[in-house]
Structure 1
Amino acid sequence: MFNSIRKDYSLKIKTFLIKVTTPSDLTDEEGIRYWQERLLLVFLFAGVVLGFVVCLASVALSIKEDLWGVAVVDTIIYAWVVVLFFCRSFPFVIRAVSVSLISYVLGMVLLLTIGPFGGGPVWLFVFPVIVAILLGLRSALGALAVNAGTVILIGILLQSGYMEWDYSTTNPVEKWIVISLNFMLLNSIVTISIAVISGRIQGLLNQQKSMLVSLEEKHSELLESNFQLKREMVERNQAEDALLESEEKYRLLVENQNDLVVKVDKKWRLLYVSPKYCETYGKDEEELLGKNILPLVHEEDRSRITKSLERLHYPPYTAQHEERNLTKDGWRWFSWVAKGLLNEEGQLEAFVSVGRDITDRKQTEEEKQALENQLQRSQKMEAMGLMAGGVAHDLNNILSGIVSYPELILMDLPDDSPLRKPIKTIQESGMKAVNVVSDLLTIARGVAIGKEVLSLNSIVEEYLSSAEHQKLKTVSPIVTFKFQLDSELLNINCSPPHIKKTLMNLVANASEAIEGAGTVTISTESRYLDEPFKAYEEVKIGEYSVLSVTDDGTGISPEDLEKIFEPFYTKKVMGRSGTGLGLAIVWNMVQDHQGYINVMSSEKGTIFELYFPVTREEVAAAKENIPLEDYLGQGEKILVVDDEERQIEIACGMLTKLGYNAKSVQSGEEAIEYVKKHSVDLMVLDMVMHKGINGRETYEKIISIHPGQKAIIASGYAKTKEVEFTQKLGAGKYIKKPYTLEKIGIAVKEELEK
């Protein structure tokens, strides 16, 4: 157990000694430099540990002998040794020179104070030896020279009597010379030998290091070569595996993807077809290989595709196009991307093409385009309607005098007056102008007011017996007009005058589309759609009464078919008929009735189908003509509010003829001020007044003064939301200008009797 403890402590001490005497910033690979640093640390460590005892004894003896200078020097030297040991950041040369000088200084001090029999010669002897070990041969020779100079100097001092030792001896100078010569001889032999050995060791270490470096380089080169060889073998194996994997992935990709892959030579023959291609075309690979691809391309697309594939002859040797292909499911759209394959001369010898079925996308694009066209058409029609409505309003005001005054004049003329006929002609011409203005107003949406439940059959029958149709038959004597009416046709909620106008325009257009003899057929039928029907517009699910007008004329071109419902678009001969508003009226009327239009045309003729939603309500009893006596007044006070002086004159004149007390103002503000001072039985209120507030604002303020004030609304515009809002406030019937005696008389009478 004791031996074990001793070994343990010995190992710890050894480890500690190695640690404190080993440089931290150098390794043994540094050669002699490492060992010089380590020997320096050994010298310093020995000086710190053992020098303490020596310094303590020397200082004590020096004090006892009254050698205070020696004591101070010993203390300073020991302190410097401690500093050099612990401050290893000092450069090696400074620390090595310091240790060497310490040896020299100690030798000189001891030699001068104690004499040759003290430790001085030993320290001087060690001085060049330490220099040889730490600093090399050249520095060692310098140290020997310093020692030689030192012993010569001491000899001179002894000879001259400036220095003597405490003990007496005979012939001290001669003895010193002998001692010095022996000292320098031994000192030189030992110092130079150690320096030479140290240098040789350094050379051997350098040579060994060079050999190790060379061996390491050779070893590295061998390792690199071996690594390169292994890497090349791995890369080759990886390349082979990657090639196999790539081929497998390519095969799986081509054989399992939804896209079609083909390889085609420059003569358009198939060299390769993917399984998906075979599946799409419903043929085996053997049936397709070697066959020309052009017969599978739609005839209309072939020239365009041929031109597109010409780009494969030029950089970047790619082409992209869309085409229709004849598959097992019929004609379908495909998007193809082709890449040219060049031979060694850089000439195209084949190309690979990848195709994708885009039929659904094409259909979506077509539907989107159709919706955009429909929206643009609606916006255009709405804009034209707004313009037409504004023009019609102004024309109505102008025509009011031409239509209304003849009626008032005729009431005062005797039956045998020669003026009755020309005035009647003026009135009829004015009414024709009113009809033209009515066509303009019809283009403005929302004019189909006053709807009632009717059968399309009754409207068709009324039209067939009308003067307009008889005139058309006279103008087109070689055109045959037929009708096929459904006896069980369901009723619709409609505006009869506008439906009749629509039918008249369609029949007139159909007859004019026939060059020479032909037939125009008017038909009706009830039709139920259980799924949406894509026509000129998309017809929704529901029950419809369908009005059809068919002709066997030359048809309408696809380009014209897109524009036929636009106002003023016509290809008729100027002066023969119409103004280009006929089909615009048809389109707006169908929209106002929440219906749909379908147009089909070819070289064999055209058919217009109008779909009107049905109603289960019954047709109301026919209205009888109301005699003039039934709507005469009894002196009631009527206030006419209008910003047009002519309209005021006409309205007041008619009301006066009917027996009313008519008053007038020319703005909404004047009407408000008037009712503040006077009460009126009823107001005839113009909705659109350019001076000040409009009719709706006027009525709002008047009912705040006189709640429940009766009023009827008049306007040259179609019925608008402003009219509907005013009626919700309490206003009565809406009448459209120009005024007629019956129209204004009945409206006023009905409102007063409420």
Structure 2
Amino acid sequence: MCTPMNNLRSPLQHRSRTKLLYLFIFYLTLSAQAVLASPPITVGIYNNKPTIFVDESGRPAGIFIDILEEIASKEHWEITYRSGYYNDLLNQLKDGEIDILPAVPYSKQQEKFFDFNNTTVLASWAELYTSEGSEIGSLPGLKDKIIGVKAGDIHFEALKDTLKKLNIKCRFFETDAYVTTFAMLRAKIIDIAAVNRLYGENNKLSYSVKGTSILFNPIEMRYALAKGTQQNISQAMDRYISKFKADKSSIYYRTMNKWLNVDSKTPAPSGLLLSFYAALALTLFLSATLILFRLQVRNRTTELQRANKELIDQVSERHKAEETLQMFARVIEASSDAIAIINSNNKHIFTNISYQSIVTPLKKPLEGTSIIDFLGEDFYNLELKEGVNRCLSGETLQIQTRPRPGHNNDFYWNLTLSPYYSDANKLEGYVMNIQDVTEQVELQNRLKNSQKMEAIGMLAGGVAHDLNNILSGLVSYPDMLLIDRGPEDPMTTPLQTIKKAGERAATIVQDLLTLARRGVGHQVVTNFNTIIREFLISPEHRSITKPVMGVEYIISLDNELSNIKGSTVHLSKILMNFFTNGVEAMLEGGVLTISTKAITLKEEYAGYEIIPPGQFATLTVSDTGIGMSTGEINRVFEPFYTSKVMGRSGTGLGMAVVWGTIKDHDGYINIKSKPGKGTSFTAYFPVTNEPIREQTKSPLHDFLGNKERILIVDDLEEQRVLTHSILESLNYQPETASSGLEAIEKCKNTNYALLVLDMIMPGEYDGLAAFEIIKATNPQQKAIIVSGFSETSRVKQAQAIGAGAYLKKPYTVDLLATTIYNELQDHS
């Protein structure tokens, strides 16, 4: 009986289908694993033993690595490591080039750029280390020291902020890693090293450095992760780290004991004793053998030992030399100074990054190129040739110069040339160290200019005092004689001419007083827009612009300009001098712009001088004329300095007066100018919230006296006679005293309604001293102060104890009359 074919196929077909099903399920499993497998995690590693470092075999090691690898093994993470410098790795983490950077100090600032796991792995702080033989016991001891720090280190920022708050000035030297910092401390290139205490305590003996009692900036060290990409990894880390901390036998405590030397005694291996006996037996056997052959091989053995020792010593010395070279190479590369080694043929052997960065015209490598090509033959012959020849004779010297055109020639360089010797002590070339000393040179120049202006000012002030006394007669006598004369009187015109000549002379004297920084008298609230509008319709403006053709004038005034406090006469002179210089710089035509603007500086502005933060009203006068060179800008405020023909356009005091006036108003100035491109002067004045008060002038007969008794105190007879005549004409009863002592005696016997008191008098009692004694016996005594000098601290002291207005010689009859009248009325 035959079995049907259909029945035979069914079991076979069933088994085949089952196999195919199993194969399909296995394939899906493999595919799922491939799909679900996580990509490798890239971890940054840098040298900060014992928290994280690369060991001698080239493997990552340290506390954070041990914990991370334990977690990775449990989570089946694949980890790849990328080594580098800490600062570089932080930037790579920020850019997402790596996924995790272990042992990063946690801070709110850091959290802006990175994610952190929540559980702190290790708490630490920073410590200051010194070389053996040095002692630092407190933060004030850091003054003027060189402190080595790791670039980008959170401890560096904390130390810098602390010292800034304490006003402790020192110099920071940034390095690439803690190892470089300690190496520089050992070499005494720096005085102090600021490092993480875990690193310091584990490495201080290797570098022969010691810790101090100064600890600062406690931190929490965690794992930093690329921002917003590794939340699952962070959560897993926190889960495992919390679990490890709860288990005393976990990897957390094992790695702490391992790297922080907390481990207790470890029992000896069980087979140690057996190994010892075996080794002992072998040693006895070998010793016996060696004794038999000792005489035959003694010499050969000694030679081999010597050769072996020499080889070991050579390897050790070479290793140390390589480490030293690497250390100094890192130091030189990190230096902000431009450093180059140049052979005796003036060819570059080595250059650091700073040196290469200043070679703007050259795009090819510098090694092998000539320094003459780099700096220019003219510059080399003029500035360096002699110094290089002396250096190649063994001398070290310094040269201060400026780069040749095209090489940052707005800067000043300090070049140090030192002989360069080979290992055989043969002089092979020289080392050039270029420092940028622009800031120091500019500060020195400003100090010299300030001292020069002060000396000239003192001389000018003394001369001005005497001249003002002399000019009183030229101004006041004509003024007094003109009181009762009409325009038709034949003496009116001559007297007015004499008075105007005296006033012009007084104006020049006023300029001298301004140079002495003692020229600004009575100050009122004013606005520069008003001063400009009055100047534009003045005779002075017409006389300046009349002889010049082809100049376009642009006026741009800020309607929101704040008021300032000052002397309108002096402020007008600033505008007139700026305007005159601008017009005379454009004899062939151009554009002159006068503008005002309200400015708020939120931080220091470094221009011609340093301008502090604050609110200012500014005046700017710009021209498109011939401009000024750097040398002319440096001398523009010197008295009697001018680039024009002396005497043709004033006295040569104009810009010096501008400088003194601006300083007397607590203001600042900035200059922008280039030859052929024009010049711009900007004056900055501090603003005031006080309103402007309107002033009116009344006729002289409104200020006549009522036979009040007035004592005139002055050491100059001419001045006493003049003032006596004026007061008599003003209906007062004047008396005179030639000294402070005479005034004291007269006041004992007579009550005076007012003293007209000269402040500067010879003898024991000047104006202030005499007034102090008079006030002691008569507290109600009134006085006004007159002087050929400007307002001084002694004037202010006299006003503080009761003296009234200050009046500067030479004064007019109107001014003396109104001052005395107002003083008597205000104190009646």
Deviation readout 1:121-145 (Å, 9 max, x if unpaired) = xxxxxxxxxxxxxxxxxxxxxxxxx
5 Å-filtered alignment, 1:236-635, equals 236-249=310-323, 252-253=326-327, 255-259=329-333, 297=375, 303=381, 307=385, 311=389, 314-316=392-394, 358=435, 362=436, 365-413=437-485, 415-603=487-675, 604-620=677-693, 622-635=694-707
Stretch deviating more after TM superposition (298-307 or 693-702): 298-307
CA drift at 1:235: 5.3
Question: Aligned partners of 1:724 and 1:313: how far apart in 2?
Answer: 61
**2:123 matched to which residue of 1?**
none
Decide whether the 8 Å contact of 1:396 with 1:437 is kept in 2: yes
Deviation readout 1:450-495 (Å, 9 max, x if unpaired) = 2222211111111111111111122334444432222222221221
CA drift at 1:583: 0.9
Change beyond 3 A, Cα 1:335–1:583: closer
Question: Aligned partners of 1:242 and 1:257: how far apart in 2?
Answer: 23
**1:208 matched to which residue of 2?**
none
Question: Aligned partners of 2:439 and 2:394: how far apart in 1?
Answer: 35
**1:667 matched to which residue of 2?**
739
CA drift at 1:643: 0.9
Deviation readout 1:235-294 (Å, 9 max, x if unpaired) = 522442245324533552355333488776777666667799899999xx9966666666
Decide whether the 8 Å contact of 2:662 with 2:669 is kept in 1: yes
Please, what TM-score do these two structures have when normalized by structure 2? 0.56
CA drift at 1:514: 2.9
Change beyond 3 A, Cα 1:410–1:557: same
Change beyond 3 A, Cα 1:261–1:639: closer
CA drift at 1:537: 0.8
Change beyond 3 A, Cα 1:684–1:327: closer
Decide whether the 8 Å contact of 1:668 with 1:693 is kept in 2: yes
Please, what TM-score do these two structures have when normalized by structure 1? 0.62
Pairwise CA RMSD: 4.0
Question: Which structure has the bigger radius of gyration?
Answer: 1
Deviation readout 1:478-522 (Å, 9 max, x if unpaired) = 444432222222221221111001211221222223343233322
Q: Tell me the amino acid that sits aligned with residue 430 of structure 1.
A: G
**2:112 matched to which residue of 1?**
none
Change beyond 3 A, Cα 1:374–1:277: closer
Decide whether the 8 Å contact of 2:412 with 2:438 is kept in 1: no
Change beyond 3 A, Cα 1:337–1:749: closer
Stretch deviating more after TM superposition (399-408 or 511-520): 511-520
CA drift at 1:611: 0.8
CA drift at 1:664: 1.0
Matched, 1:725 2:811: no
Change beyond 3 A, Cα 1:389–1:247: closer
Question: Aligned partners of 1:574 and 1:742: how far apart in 2?
Answer: 36
Decide whether the 8 Å contact of 2:388 with 2:417 is kept in 1: no
Change beyond 3 A, Cα 1:223–1:611: farther
Deviation readout 1:132-188 (Å, 9 max, x if unpaired) = xxxxxxxxxxxxxxxxxxxxxxxxxxxxxxxxxxxxxxxxxxxxxxxxxxxxxxxxx
Q: Tell me the amino acid that sits aligned with residue 672 of structure 2.
A: M
Q: Tell me the amino acid that sits aligned with residue 729 of structure 1.
A: I
Q: Could you list the runs of 5+ residues in structure 2 that have no partner in the other structure?
A: 1-294
Aligned length: 522
CA drift at 1:433: 1.5
Query: Please, which of 678, 689, 713 is the counterpart of residue 750 of structure 2?
Result: 678
Matched, 1:711 2:783: yes
Change beyond 3 A, Cα 1:251–1:648: closer
Change beyond 3 A, Cα 1:279–1:666: closer
Q: Tell me the amino acid that sits aligned with residue 689 of structure 2.
A: R
Instruction: Percent identity, please.
Output: 36
CA drift at 1:700: 0.7
Q: Tell me the amino acid that sits aligned with residue 326 of structure 2.
A: L
Change beyond 3 A, Cα 1:236–1:275: farther
**2:284 matched to which residue of 1?**
none
Question: Aligned partners of 1:381 and 1:335: how far apart in 2?
Answer: 31
Question: Aligned partners of 1:669 and 1:275: how far apart in 2?
Answer: 75
Q: Aligned to 2:453, what secondary structure does the other structure show?
A: helix
Question: Aligned partners of 2:431 and 2:812: how far apart in 1?
Answer: 74
Change beyond 3 A, Cα 1:724–1:679: same
Q: Aligned to 1:489, what secondary structure does the other structure show?
A: coil
Change beyond 3 A, Cα 1:234–1:668: same
**2:817 matched to which residue of 1?**
745
Question: Aligned partners of 2:462 and 2:341: how far apart in 1?
Answer: 65
Deviation readout 1:66-122 (Å, 9 max, x if unpaired) = xxxxxxxxxxxxxxxxxxxxxxxxxxxxxxxxxxxxxxxxxxxxxxxxxxxxxxxxx
Change beyond 3 A, Cα 1:332–1:225: farther
Q: Tell me the amino acid that sits aligned with residue 600 of structure 2.
A: Y
Deviation readout 1:394-436 (Å, 9 max, x if unpaired) = 1111111111111222223355321222122112212211212
Change beyond 3 A, Cα 1:295–1:676: same
Query: Please, which of 740, 752, 766 is the counterpart of residue 694 of structure 1?
Result: 766
CA drift at 1:612: 0.8
Decide whether the 8 Å contact of 1:555 with 1:606 is kept in 2: yes
Change beyond 3 A, Cα 1:493–1:299: farther
Deviation readout 1:589-648 (Å, 9 max, x if unpaired) = 11111111111221122111111112233222x211122122111111111111111111
Question: Aligned partners of 1:319 and 1:406: how far apart in 2?
Answer: 68
Decide whether the 8 Å contact of 2:713 with 2:757 is kept in 1: yes
Q: Tell me the amino acid that sits aligned with residue 466 of structure 1.
A: S
Q: Which has the higher helix share?
A: 1
Q: Aligned to 2:332, what secondary structure does the other structure show?
A: coil
Q: Tell me the amino acid that sits aligned with residue 633 of structure 1.
A: G
Decide whether the 8 Å contact of 1:332 with 1:357 is kept in 2: no
Change beyond 3 A, Cα 1:315–1:235: farther
Question: Aligned partners of 2:518 and 2:462: how far apart in 1?
Answer: 14
Change beyond 3 A, Cα 1:347–1:699: closer
**1:216 matched to which residue of 2?**
none
Query: Please, which of 657, 675, 690 is the counterpart of residue 729 of structure 2?
Result: 657
Q: Which has the higher strand share?
A: 2
CA drift at 1:558: 2.2
Q: Tell me the amino acid that sits aligned with residue 570 of structure 1.
A: T
Question: Aligned partners of 1:526 and 1:453: how far apart in 2?
Answer: 16
Q: Aligned to 1:612, what secondary structure does the other structure show?
A: strand
Q: Tell me the amino acid that sits aligned with residue 618 of structure 1.
A: P
Stretch deviating more after TM superposition (272-281 or 584-593): 272-281
Q: Aligned to 2:546, what secondary structure does the other structure show?
A: helix
Decide whether the 8 Å contact of 2:477 with 2:722 is kept in 1: yes
Q: Tell me the amino acid that sits aligned with residue 578 of structure 1.
A: G
Question: Aligned partners of 1:608 and 1:469: how far apart in 2?
Answer: 18
Stretch deviating more after TM superposition (417-426 or 653-662): 417-426
CA drift at 1:742: 1.2
Question: Aligned partners of 1:339 and 1:222: how far apart in 2?
Answer: 55
Change beyond 3 A, Cα 1:704–1:331: closer
